[in-house]
């Protein structure tokens, strides 16, 4: 059956850096203004009731929420990912690889929407490890990227075979190119801009995944999505573009906009990350 391309889907992704803190700093006002159809969150750091309560207080009831709380000692209180929508859903998955069960870094939700060519869209919220060059933390990050890449291969193959289109949203903790980080020369040997990390994103692109923000913005610096709380990084726009939406080709060709909701001032930030909001269809 032919899908109606005139019906748009608004999809927002944001690392909230602790949803309780984000609420105190003004996140509900942003939610009320944007009113996304689908919301992907990272570093939730809260339970299901707290997350659902925020959404209901801001936008009313009727939310379907797929949420993974971290349970292991190294991630508890620090991670947590979720996808929320009031659109009809078909199912969800929380396991990427047994090694990362309990880390709260990957969740999938299947959403019914005519914005997808097949009427069904798999939305992934991912929070990649920050890593630390030359340490076990970096080994964990690379292993996670291997697991994520394997799952993305399967999602891409399903979309190519006429199954659900897919979009992987979240905090990748990797700046892909020199355009994606202000001080790239000073970070060549640091986690987040290492050649072996960036090679994973090269692989996604070679497979056919599309970095939607880059596709629409073209070869420009940024737009950045993360700035340190410290110093004048935000005011000077010394940032990193590490939050993204990577879509399968059938969905990416329907992207009409992808914006970074950068706060007007430092004082108005509700996280050290800014939301990345894309519209598909329409």
Chain centre distance of CA 211: 11
Q: Which of 110, 224, 273, 280 is catalytic?
A: 273
Predicted confidence at residue 72, as pLDDT, reads 78
Q: Is residue 30 part of a domain?
A: yes
* pLDDT category of residue 111 using cuts at 50, 70 and 90: very high
Phi, psi of 87 (to 5 degrees): -75, 160
Residue reference for tokens 């801001």: 58
Is residue 187 marked as binding?
A: no
Q: What is the mean pLDDT of residues 30-40?
A: 97
Q: Is residue 65 part of a domain?
A: yes
Predicted confidence at residue 158, as pLDDT, reads 97
If you write DSSP's letter for every residue of 169-183 in order, what string do you get?
Answer: EEE-----SGGGBTT
User: Does residue 34 contact residue 275 with C-beta atoms inside 8 Å?
Assistant: yes
Phi, psi of 14 (to 5 degrees): -160, 135
Per-residue pLDDT tens digits for 205-232: 999 999 999 999 999 999 999 999 999 9
Predicted confidence at residue 74, as pLDDT, reads 64
Distance, in Å, from the CA atom of 192 to the CA atom of 89, rounded to the nearest integer, reads 34
* pLDDT category of residue 1 using cuts at 50, 70 and 90: very low
Q: Residues 238, 173, 12, 253: is their CA dihedral positive or negative?
A: positive
Q: Is residue 112 part of a domain?
A: yes
If you write DSSP's letter for every residue of 23-52 in order, what string do you get?
Answer: HHHTHHHHHHHH--SEEEEE---S-HHHHH
Domain assignment of residue 101, given as a range? 9-280
Structure token digits, residue 265:
């001032």
Total structural domains in the chain?
Answer: 1
Is residue 272 marked as binding?
A: yes
User: What's the CATH number where 96 sits?
Assistant: 3.60.10.10
127 is catalytic: yes
Going by C-alpha positions, the residue among 279, 274, 278, 277 that lies closest to residue 15 is 274
Is residue 183 marked as binding?
A: no
Distance, in Å, from the CA atom of 85 to the CA atom of 77, rounded to the nearest integer, reads 24
Per-residue pLDDT tens digits for 241-263: 999 999 999 999 999 999 999 99
Per-residue pLDDT tens digits for 38-73: 999 999 999 999 999 999 999 999 999 999 998 876
Q: Which of 37, 171, 211, 243 is catalytic?
A: 171
Predicted confidence at residue 4, as pLDDT, reads 46
More confident residue, 198 or 7: 198
Q: Which of 127, 200, 224, 243 is catalytic?
A: 127
Q: Is residue 3 part of a domain?
A: no
pTM of the model: 0.95
Q: Is residue 2 part of a domain?
A: no
Predicted confidence at residue 6, as pLDDT, reads 59
Distances (CA, A) of 179 to 41, 81, 214, 239: 25, 27, 10, 11
Is residue 273 marked as binding?
A: yes
Structure token digits, residue 220:
């420009």
Per-residue pLDDT tens digits for 258-281: 999 999 999 999 999 999 999 999
Give yes or no for residue 5 having a pLDDT over 60. no
Q: Is residue 4 part of a domain?
A: no
Q: Is residue 192 part of a domain?
A: yes
Tell me whether residue 98 is exposed, middle or buried, using C-beta atoms within 10 angstroms of its C-beta: 0 to 12, 13 to 18, 19 or more.
exposed
Predicted confidence at residue 75, as pLDDT, reads 67
* pLDDT category of residue 2 using cuts at 50, 70 and 90: very low
Per-residue pLDDT tens digits for 123-173: 999 999 999 999 999 999 999 999 999 999 999 999 999 999 999 999 999
SS3 content of the chain, % helix, strand, coil (to 5): 30, 25, 45
Phi, psi of 90 (to 5 degrees): -105, -30
User: Does residue 22 contact residue 271 with C-beta atoms inside 8 Å?
Assistant: yes
More confident residue, 1 or 70: 70
Q: What is the mean pLDDT of residues 12-39?
A: 97
Predicted confidence at residue 71, as pLDDT, reads 86
How wide is the angle at C-alpha 269 spanned by C-alphas 138 and 45, nearest 5°? 50
Q: Is residue 1 part of a domain?
A: no
Is residue 268 marked as binding?
A: no
Pairing of the two strands 243-247 and 165-171: antiparallel
How wide is the angle at C-alpha 279 spanned by C-alphas 95 and 237, nearest 5°? 90
């Amino acid at each position: 059956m032919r899908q109606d391309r005139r019906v748009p889907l608004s999809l927002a992704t944001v690392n909230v850096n602790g949803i309780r803190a984000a609420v105190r700093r003004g996140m509900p006002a942003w939610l009320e203004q944007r009113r996304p159809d689908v919301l992907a969150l990272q570093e939730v750091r809260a339970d299901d009731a707290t997350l659902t309560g925020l959404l209901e207080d801001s936008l009313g009831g009727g939310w379907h929420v797929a949420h993974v709380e971290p349970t292991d000692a190294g991630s508890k209180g620090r991670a947590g990912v979720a996808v929320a929508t009031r659109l009809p859903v078909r199912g969800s998955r929380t396991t990427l690889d047994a090694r990362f069960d309990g880390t709260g870094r990957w969740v999938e939700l299947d959403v019914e929407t005519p914005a997808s060519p097949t009427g069904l869209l798999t939305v992934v919220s991912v929070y990649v490890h920050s890593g630390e060059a030359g340490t076990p933390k970096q080994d964990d990050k690379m292993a996670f990227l291997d697991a994520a890449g394997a799952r993305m291969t399967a999602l891409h193959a399903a979309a190519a075979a006429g199954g659900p289109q897919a979009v992987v949203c979240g905090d990748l903790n990797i700046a892909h190119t020199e355009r994606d980080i202000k001080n790239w020369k000073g970070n060549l040997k640091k986690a987040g801009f290492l050649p072996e990390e960036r090679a994973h994103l090269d692989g996604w692109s070679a497979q056919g995944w599309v970095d939607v923000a880059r596709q629409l913005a073209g070869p420009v610096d940024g737009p950045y999505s993360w700035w340190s709380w410290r110093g004048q990084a935000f005011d000077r726009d010394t940032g990193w573009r590490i939050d993204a939406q990577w879509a399968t080709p059938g969905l990416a060709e329907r992207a009409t906009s992808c914006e970074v909701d950068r706060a007007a001032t430092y004082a108005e930030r509700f996280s050290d990350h800014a939301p990345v909001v894309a519209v598909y269809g329409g």
